[in-house]
Amino acid sequence: MPMSDSKPSDETLLAASLTFGVLGKALYRELDNEELDQLLRTRVFTEIPFGEGQADSQKGIKELSDWTEENADGLSQDSCNDIRHDFLYLFAGVGRPLAAPWESTYCNESRTMFEKQTLQVRDWYKEYGLMIGRKNKEPDDQIGYELSFIAHVAHVASEASKSGDSVELEDLLDAIRDFLCQHLLRWAFTWSTRVQKNARSNFYKGLALLVSGSLQALSLELGIKAQDVKQCVTDTPHCHPGPPR
């Protein structure tokens, strides 16, 4: 586990929780037209509360702002088709998914689902009280669930910070650091790169860039350095090198 004296403020932790929460909800399953329309109406992705200083986040906001403007009069059929195509080919798979959303497929030799990583993150969720909405329908190590876990613990840490409970706060920050280094940071940058490379829609390109930028920002906040994190797999030369030094 990386050791650090970095202690984000409760405002920063809440901003991180909001950002990771929105990303998790957008990625843990296919969104229907009504949900996409809601994102357009509320212009959720034209700015974000956390990580906006990262280059990847800025690129992601640009992609999603373009998507919002292109559909200003309502979700177009072309945009809908591109998003459906991307979900099918990137995440669900016509054959092998182009950007599989499950940690196990990156971090074990067989590259299959429901391996030890799935059970490990399930234990994390149970310990910190995260309830999964699609339990037993989707492996626990799916990208949206892992992002939602960070959102959940960051929210609890924000509350601990506001209440002045320094012991609980440090325990929760250590939990986030450990989960990032043992799980998300080992594969999420490769996942993001694969989405950016293969997506047809700027919707999913933008989400992937926001995931990368938000993880970089959180790593900096928590004092995590790239050399602390062993990557499961890389897509050289396309793979992001990991959290910033």
pLDDT of residue 245: 31
Does residue 135 surpass a pLDDT of 70?
no
Question: Measured between alpha carbons, how far is 92 from 110 in angstroms, rounded to an integer?
Answer: 18
Mean pLDDT for 229-240 is 62
Write out the H or E segment, with its range, that includes residue 169.
helix 166-179
Average pLDDT score, the chain: 88
In a domain, 4, yes or no: no
Cβ-based neighbours of 89, under 8 Å, separated by 6 or more: 97, 98, 198
Average confidence (pLDDT) over 185-207: 97
238 within a domain of the structure (yes/no): no
pTM recorded for the entire structure: 0.90
Q: Which two tokens stand for residue 76?
A: 């177009």
Q: Determine the pLDDT at residue 191.
A: 97
Taking residues 137-166, report their average pLDDT: 95
pLDDT of residue 111: 55
* Residue 240 maps to a domain: no
For residue 1, tell me if it sits in a domain.
Answer: no
pLDDT of residue 242: 41
> Looking at residue 130, what DSSP letter applies?
P
Q: Answer yes or no: is 206 within a domain.
A: yes
Which of 47-57 are b and which e, b meaning 16 or more Cβ less than 10 Å from the residue's Cβ? Answer: ebebbbebebb
Is 83 within the bounds of a domain? yes
Any idea which of 63-77, 111-125, 142-156 has the lowest mean pLDDT? 111-125
Pull the structure tokens for residue 227: 């050399």
Evaluate if residue 110 carries a pLDDT over 70.
no
pLDDT exceeds 80 at position 171: yes
87: domain range? Answer: 10-228
Residue 128, domain member (yes or no): yes
Q: Residue 3 falls within a domain, yes or no?
A: no
Q: Identify the CATH number of the domain in which residue 203 sits.
A: 1.10.3480.10
- Say which residues have a Cβ less than 8 Å from residue 82's Cβ, sequence separation at least 6: 200, 201, 203
Q: Which tokens hold the place of 13?
A: 């932790």
Whether residue 210 has pLDDT greater than 80: yes
